[in-house]
Structure 1
Amino acid sequence: MAVLGELVVAARRHAADGNMGRLADTLVEALTRTGRLYPGMEKPIATVMALPDGDRRRLVDALVDRHRAGTEETRPLLLQLVTLAVQGLGEDALATERSLRLAGYAHVHTVWHGDELSVLAAAELAAGRTLPPEAVGVIRRTAAMAYWGKQLAALARTLHEPVLNVGEPWADTALAEAAELGPEWTGLLRHAVGATAARPSEAWEKQGRALLDPLDPGAVRARLLGWLALVGRPRSLPYEEKEHAPGQNDLYDPYNANALRGLAWLLSLLPPHPDTARALGRLVETSLRKVPGTGPRNPKVANAAVLALSRIEGEPALAELARLASRITFKGTLKQVDAGLGTRAAAMGLSRAEVEELAVPSYGLTEVGRLPHAYGELAVRGAKAVLTWRNAAGKDVKSPPAPLKREQPELIAELKTAAKDIDRTLSAQAERLDRQFLARRSWAHAAWRDRYLDHPLVGTLARRLLWTVDGTPCGWAGDALRALDDAPLGPVADDAAVELWHPVGREPAEVAGWREWLERHGITQPFKQAHREVYLLTDAERTTGTYSNRFAAHVLRQHQFHALAAVRGWRNRLRLCVDDSYPPAMRELPEWGLRAEFWIEGVDFEAGGGITDSGAYSWLTTDQVRFYPADAPVHEAHASGGGYGYGRYSGTVAAALPLEQVPALVLSEVLRDVDLFVGVASVGNDPTWQDGGPGGHFRAYWESYGFGELSQTARSRGDLLARLVPRLAIGDRCHVEGRFLHVRGDRHTYKIHLGSGNILIAPYDAYLCIVPKAAPATPDVGYLPFEGDRTLAVILSKAMLLARDTEITDRTILSQL
């Protein structure tokens, strides 16, 4: 700053001497020293602005000359200085350069300092010109920032055009179409941008209705849904990638996000329509999609869409809320969904669970899993909706016949939309049903048949599950509910109790019998039920008494565990590498008056743990599983461990319930969840971790998990493969033995671990690294008794590949053979 002070003195001296060239050089030197026009340049600029007009004109000329001869570094700074110096002289020096500089902001997200934008934008506006839309976007986005945006906030409030920021496909389309449709539509967009609060005010709604009244509701709906369909697509003006801000191109423009909230609320003011509910549900999921280093794209937009859904009357909106309740995991938005369903349940005089059941739409299916029409049918096959077509001669064809395309294109569109909706809803309903074991749900027979067994959509799941009806275990086969011996159930009273069958407490012969029954009838269950793992108390757990160490000392990928825990109904917080305390992962069990805790902690960096760009631990280590009364105080532990207790760093621990007092079904289901967390998120099943990860700290763990003793889930998988393998085309080359599926190829014999899917080459147990796809499809191996086991799909895919190892062409794999 002392050097800058000397430059200020020099600037005043040159100004007094009338030496504008030397003054210009001094200012350039000052700019080079500071690297910015502000701060520190106020006094030199004040010296410039105090010059007589004639001297100032000569100074401007000198600065313009230096701008033209300047460097890439100094030219933008000189442009600002010229823009300031020329104020009040009635001239517009470097106007073209200024416009080009502003247009150059097309790929900028925000600016750290708003000096340049403030100066250049003010000059453009003073000259009577509009700012380039790209520059307006930067100003608005920067103004939205809490700390450094204040400098541009006042300017942003004066910029009313364009109505939306350009650069997002939906906004570009909305701007173009609104301009073509007329001022009423531009006014609608402008009103939507004003949705800056969590809920619409009465005044906002009143004005929204006034803007909608002159317009055709169907036309407004179609136009708004067309815009929302483009939300989330790649930016038309992508931002420059910044190392400190990964994922910016996947986020919503914060200014346009307000407009999205407003559009969602405007849709709720229109007459209800199934397409509206569908579009709002899609907007929720798109807005909650995770962005690395940030989290959900825009929870505020998701919450606005949920609010809109909760205010729309009719079955489609209620069904979409119920579907979202089973699909989304972001706590803030899920709380909004729960509130919406709770309000609707109270209005209908029903329980929340009953509302979710009644809300499931049929999507036009006229019988369970089927909608026949003149040119084919829409049918549910397993977890997918399948459209088939026939021509006038009754022959199957791959696409809609020409007469149907010509005469009923809307029917084709409706069927394709229904198929997509069915796929989404089936997945959500399967997850909801899988959670009913711990929900202790029981139904009266008449209601159960209506909502489940005979429901056109849910029936496709219910008829692949096992139930107890008035105490009798049964399943659907052919055209009736049948007992284990295939005898049809007799008449059942309407009020007879129906529950989901669970293998806990059943005789092994009965469990084995139902597995054979499913196979005999070719029934593939939507999730494991007859083949469900059962976790009984071990001697070690009887010794520890109040906690289970069965799944302790594992290393998990934190983000994968966190996402899976949310899907399974557990509450968990991502652990950051900070001085803070966290509760354990918890599963609330209100129907049982219990709470389950899974104790976890971040892996210390010095011990080999990694930290993400957002400061979260990459990995966790696992510890005990405990059970407490539902109202027991919640424990906390430091993010990096150190033991759980009440309050921050407290060593006081509540008395956990003896495991022998925990109902067998609760114990089994909770431990099954934890086994699932370990089986999916453990670094031990990552084939690329042969070296043990960072610093090799986890090599021993990776080897013990990747090739060691089997969990209950892996043992069940082995039992299934032992029955399945003989029926495969490669059956003569495969057999299950111990912890492995052994596969005989032409080059080598291979051992695929039943728990991790990792591979060893016999006889020397050399490791073979084959990285599976992110979502491997289960190979066509004929009948499988259940859906959803990713590791089973990985093992079968690897077995198919290795049994024909002479046909392998992948160079990475060949180099290891």
Structure 2
Amino acid sequence: MNAIVKHMDVLMSKILAGHPVEKHPEMDALLSDIESHVLAKTRYIPTHSSLPLKGCETYATLEVLPAEEKIEFLLYLISQLNHNAVSRSSQDDDPEYLRRLVHANLLNTLMRTRIDFPDGFSFFQLFRALYGITDQSPPDLDILSGPFTALVMQIEKHIKRWGLNEIIAEDISNLIGQECVVRHLRGETRQVCWAAKKLERILVKAGESGIFQMPAYELGGGPFGSLVQADMGQISAEERGKWHHLFHHLSMADGGTPSQKFLNTLRPLVDEIGVPVFRSCTNRWLAAAAQLQMTETEYTEQYIVHTYTYRDVVFIEAHSFSLLKGLLWLQSWFHDPQTLQSIALLTEKCFQKIPRHGPVAASVGNAGIYALAQAPGLAGISHLSRLKLRIRQNNTQKLIQNFIDEQAAKQGIRPAQIEEIAVPDFGLNAGERVEAFDDYRLVLKHSGVGATQLQWIKPDGSPQKTAPAFVKNSADHSAKLKQMRALEKQVKQSSTSQRDRIDRLYLEDMRWSKDDFETYYLHHGLVADIARKLIWALDGTPALYHDEHWQNVNGELLVPADIREIRLWHPIDSSPEEVLAWRDRLEELAVSQPFKQAYREVYILTDAEINTRLYSNRMAAHILKQHQFNSLAAIRGWKYSLLGIHDDDRNGGIARRTLPAYNLEAQYWINEIADNVNDVGIWHYVASDQLRFCRDGDEPVPLTDIPPLVLSEIMRDLDLFVGVASVGNDPQWQDGGPEARPQYREYWQSYSFGDLTEVAKTRKAVLERLLPKLKIRDKTHIDGKFLFVEGSRHTYKIHIGSGNILICPNDRYLCIVPSRSKNKHLSRVFLPFEGDSGLSIVLSKAFMLAEDDKITDSTILRQL
């Protein structure tokens, strides 16, 4: 065997010295046969891809050659590649260029076959030969564009065969020391080379077994690595060594969840660092990571004669994903509020979506979800419940729901119940929390959904705008103030999530006992502010909790002695007269509901739907912006997969909403519009189709068997999807979109100015109440489906449904794109509920057009 190694060394030395290996007629014949076979099958040979070698007898012979002959052929092939370079100006159909591509791909293919390299063989020298690194040429290469992964695979197999010894450990150390490999380990490249990470793990094992000195962990210069490296520079070399030992192990974090063996291995390493130090540092790192900003980078890739330029967005460097995953897994040992909040913030950031990329760090986010799910009690469930409403990815929502379901099953209650039990009150009492700072007080007030205030109170009881000087000068007070500001942010986030959770309870068929309702809603520190603005059914009787008493629609006190059941009231349960009375009562009390309840749309089964029996076409035949529809569907709990050109001949898809409380699934059928596709092959537009309900798989259920409230709520979701995502709502789409087809223009025209949907009818009802109270009341009136506005220049018709505008008298279209900034006029308008952006758009346009002589926007003025 030593003679074989010696012979290999001689051949390798020639290659590395830049000298060609002597011509070998038999090997040239083998190469020629393989070239002929491949080029007879195809003239298109992508780089680093598989060759069409099936049926090639020459290659079949080559695969089973004895190890010595196979290695010798491999080295000969390397020599031919290194000494027959092709000019970068070569064309794709150049015979020499094609020949080189066949040789390069054959080399990659051979490196992935079984090759029994002898003990003592130098893989580092093979690496240099594979990439043409001679003694005269410095290395300038990208290990992702060659057989590096296959080389690492051979090293792994070699270790299994001969064991891990000093020779192979030194080879690996030399490989890791190459600048081209170091760049990947430091995170200085766009993509992670997982093969390089494997080599690092092998070296760590060699260090732990005493074969080799374990190197310092390469944190790299990326956003996360830099902030950790800054802390490492502040501690002693001995302490830094303990951290680096831990980092090496954390970098091996594979899979979706940690094994018990993995956690057991890391426990003594954390103990060696010190648990208080570990918790302090990791909390700081995770919180800082959550605040990192997205950065856009430009990079180029070279493929033989072609150069391609791309743009990428980075949040956390990809090579740090495993390290962060490991850190998050270890947080499952600690369950204090600060740790859980840091995990939740980072997890949410990791699922922020980047166009054409997806979530910025999904594997890290999944590790955060795991850590939150391991928290004892309900603190982790509280964060997961909020994240479920914030994260849009279907598979992630399912993962979160699985953890919630598992915890609910342990306690023998429904998932919806455990979510409401887990809502934290943040120490709020009647919506306020007071913290003492010596003689001063700081009051945190929850003033509405997503709204909070921090107010300083002087010793004499008067307010103060800014923090007292003594607070800023005290480390303890400053830390306490920082905690209060962090708590304020949590209250904002949680109140919004709770509003959305309660809005979706209609389809959970939730009912509460009096005691449970008072605990989790009526007297809850956070939720009470939402619950007291809603109407509840007390044993079927609608009531509002106002002035610390239950009152009916007439304001009369109710003194229910033995309430058996409390439910969230729905307008479908009352007569139209009673619904109108409740609207009057809420307006009289100036109660702005956190979501549409008294004004909630009601959808009753129609004669057409009774005739179609199994499906409804009420929300069919709409052209929707697919990405916007997908986002809305996720928010409302629907599961949908974007349709594109790579859909295996599917002609459409289905958005699904599971209804466990009713053992039903709602299905909204979607058809592709193959007119316009983005740069990753996803259709910009889709067409809506029928709605149906199924049970036990895809077995359709007659619409007459669907509970009226379920039908109404599902239909309301669909109306929302159409009302927001329809191209008819886009004032600019008339000149854009797939206009080549006349029917699309006709759809835009008919939707933009057509009959009002149920949502638009509700909007109209609100406007009829609001207009008499506005300063523009003398310039506006409603006629049919339009809000008419008398301006100085023209009279305008604003469609109440779409918000699109026509100029009278000849109905000339006026395009005004809604501003993202908040309209100053609307801040003074009382709206009976939150959440209807369409209503805000209609009112904003009305205020603008009523004073059209003050418009300065040149784009609008040109149209006037």
Give the TM-score of the pair, scaled to structure 1.
Answer: 0.80
Helix, strand or coil at the partner of 1:504: helix
**2:113 aligns to what?**
none
How far 1:780 sits from its partner (Å)? Answer: 1.0
Name 1:305's counterpart in structure 2. Answer: 368
State yes or no: 1:198 paired with 2:256: yes
Structure 2 unaligned runs (5+)? 1-17, 24-79, 91-95, 108-127, 153-169, 205-213, 302-306
How far off its partner does 1:682 sit? 0.6
Equivalent positions of 1:379-394 (< 5 A) are 379-383=445-449, 384-392=451-459, 394=461
Match for residue 460 of structure 1 among 529, 547, 564: 529
- Which of 594, 600, 604 does residue 526 from structure 1 map onto? 594
Q: Compared with structure 1, are the counterparts of its residues 372 and 245 closer, same or farther at alpha carbon in structure 2 (3 Å cutoff)?
A: farther
- 8 Å CA contact retained: 2:639, 2:656: yes
- State the partner residue of 1:560: 628
> Residue 756 of structure 2 aligns with which residue?
710
TM-aligned CA distance change 1:570 to 1:214, over 3 Å: same
> Is 1:588–1:594's contact at 8 Å kept on the other side of the alignment?
yes
* Structure 2 residue corresponding to 1:586, chosen from 656, 663, 679: 656
Cα shift readout 1:649-702 (whole Å, capped 9, x = no counterpart): xxxxx5x43333322111111111110010011111011111352234321111
User: What is the Cα deviation at residue 804 of structure 1?
Assistant: 2.0
- Aligned to 2:656, the other structure's residue is in SS state strand
Alpha-carbon distance, 1:397 to partner: 3.6
- Out of 674, 686, 706, the residue aligned to residue 730 of structure 2 is 686
SS of the counterpart of 1:620? Answer: strand
| 1:278-302 Cα shifts (integer Å, max 9, x gaps) | 1111222112111212322232222
Q: Deviations over 1:239-260 (max 9, x none)?
A: 4278989663236543311111
Contact 1:164 1:255 in 2 (8 A): no
Shift of 1:777: 6.5
2:719 is aligned to 675
Change (3 A) 1:371 1:526: farther
Which is further off, 727-736 or 501-510? Answer: 727-736
RMSD after superposition: 3.7
- Residue-by-residue CA offset, 1:610-630 (whole Å, 9 max, x unaligned): 1222222221111111223x2
The alignment status of 1:619 with 2:680, answered yes or no, reads no
Alignment partner, residue 220 of structure 1: 278
Determine if the alignment matches structure 1 residue 359 to structure 2 residue 419.
no
Q: Residue 801 of structure 1 aligns to a residue in which SS?
A: helix
SS at match of 1:443: coil
Q: How many residues align?
A: 718
Q: 1:396 aligns with which of 448, 463, 483?
A: 463
Q: How does 1:570-609 map to 2 (within 5 A)?
A: 570-577=638-645, 578-581=647-650, 584-603=654-673, 605=674, 609=675
Query: 1:757 is paired with a residue of what secondary structure?
Result: coil
CA distance in 2, matches of 1:253, 1:128: 20
Residue 155 of structure 1: how far off its partner (Å) = 8.5
Counterpart CA distance in 2 for 1:25 and 1:457 is 70
Alpha-carbon distance in structure 1 between the residues aligned to 2:297 and 2:592? 46
Aligned to 2:852: 805
CA distance 1:37–1:714, change in 2 (3 Å): same
Task: Map Cα deviations across residues 363-402 of structure 1 (whole Å, 9 max, x no partner).
Answer: 1212245547643421122211222234455443433232
3-state DSSP of counterpart to 1:622: strand
What is the letter of the counterpart of residue 620 of structure 1? V
Structure 1 residue aligned with 2:703, among 639, 659, 678? 659
Cα drift, residue 235 of structure 1: 6.2
Contact kept, 8 Å, 1:474 with 1:484, in 2: the verdict is yes
Q: Indicate the residue corresponding to 1:474 in structure 2.
A: 543
Q: In 2 relative to 1, CA 444–164 (structure 1 residues): closer, same or farther, beyond 3 Å?
A: farther
The 3-state SS of whatever aligns with 1:751 is strand
| Matches of 1:576 and 1:670, distance apart in 2 | 26
Partner residue of 2:818?
Answer: 772
Task: Measure how far apart 1:191 and its partner are.
Answer: 2.2
Return the match for 1:405 from 472, 475, 481: 472
The separation in 1 between residues aligned to 2:177 and 2:392, in whole angstroms, is 50
Instruction: Name 1:282's counterpart in structure 2.
Output: 345
Contact 1:705–1:756 under 8 Å retained in 2: yes
**Pairing 1:782–2:848 present:** no
Q: 1:202 to 1:663 in 2, by over 3 A?
A: closer
Q: Distance in 2 between matches of 1:570 and 1:237?
A: 31
1:256 and 2:320 matched: yes
1:728/1:781 contact within 8 Å kept: no
Matches within 5 A, 1:406-425: 406-407=473-474, 408-425=477-494
Partner of 1:742: 788
Name the residue aligned to 2:775: 729
Q: Which shows bigger deviation, 241-250 or 327-336?
A: 241-250
Please give the per-residue CA displacement for 1:213-254, whole angstroms capped at 9, x wherever unaligned: 133434322321222234363467934278989663236543
Structure 2 Cα separation of the partners of residues 237 and 816 of structure 1: 37
Alpha carbons 1:390, 1:400 under 8 Å: kept: no
Residues 716-746 of structure 1 show CA distances to partners (whole Å, capped at 9, x for unaligned) of: 1011011112212323222222212222222
CA contact (8 A) 1:684 1:702 kept: yes
- Contact (CA 8 Å) 1:307, 1:336: kept in 2 or not? no
Secondary structure in structure 2 of the residue aligned to 1:248: strand
Q: Report how far residue 562 of structure 1 moved.
A: 1.4
Matched, 1:240 2:308: no
Give 1:115 shift.
7.8
SS at match of 2:833: coil
Secondary structure at the aligned position of 2:521 is classed as: helix
Deviation string 1:500-523 (CA, Å, 9 cap, x unpaired) is 110003111110011111111111
| Runs of 5+ consecutive residues of structure 1 not aligned to the other structure | 1-7, 14-22, 46-79, 88-92, 635-653
Task: Tell me how far apart the structure 1 counterparts of residues 176 and 499 of structure 2 sit (CA, whole Å).
Answer: 63
**Paired letter, 2:708:** A
Q: Which one-letter code corresponds to 2:660 in the other structure? A: P
Which residue matches 1:545?
A: 613
SS at match of 2:272: coil
Measured in 2, the distance between the counterparts of 1:657 and 1:198 equals 38
Q: Are residues 1:794 and 2:849 paired?
A: no
Structure-1 separation of matches of 2:376 and 2:310: 40
Match of 2:556?
487
Q: Which residue of 2 aligns with 1:439?
A: 508
CA displacement, residues 444-471 of structure 1 (integer Å, 9 cap, x when unaligned): 0111011101101011110111001122
Q: CA deviation at 1:81?
A: 9.5
The equivalent of 1:174 in structure 2 is 228
Verify: 1:536 aligned to 2:567, yes or no: no
1:117-140, Cα deviation, whole Å (9 max, x unpaired): 999x99994897766853544798
Structure 1's 622 and 236: CA in aligned 2 closer, same or farther, altered over 3 A?
closer
SS in 2 for 1:190: helix
Q: Which residue of 2 aligns with 1:760?
A: 806
Cα distance in 2 for partners of 1:592, 1:683 equals 33
Tell me the SS of whatever aligns to 2:688: strand
Judge conservation of contact 1:125–1:131 (CA < 8 Å) in 2: no
The answer on whether the counterparts of 1:693 and 1:699 sit within 8 Å (CA) in structure 2 is: no
CA 1:202–1:737 in 2, change beyond 3 Å: closer, same or farther? same
CA distance in 1, matches of 2:468, 2:392: 42
Counterpart contact for 1:325–1:338, Cα < 8 Å: yes
Partner amino acid, structure 2, of 1:469: L
Aligned pair partner of 2:745 in 694, 699, 703: 699
Provide the rounded CA distance (Å) in 1 between the counterparts of 2:131 and 2:740: 59
In 2, distance between residues paired with 1:545 and 1:325?
A: 34
Q: Which amino acid in structure 1 is aligned with residue 227 of structure 2?
A: T
Partners of 1:447 and 1:621 in 2: CA distance? 44
Q: Using the alignment, how far apart are the partners of 1:289 and 1:180 within structure 2?
A: 32
Pairing of 1:116-195 with structure 2 (within 5 A): 125=174, 133-134=182-183, 136-137=185-186, 144=193, 163-164=217-218, 166-181=220-235, 182-195=240-253
* TM-score, structure 2 as length reference: 0.76
Separation in 2, partners of 1:458, 1:518: 19
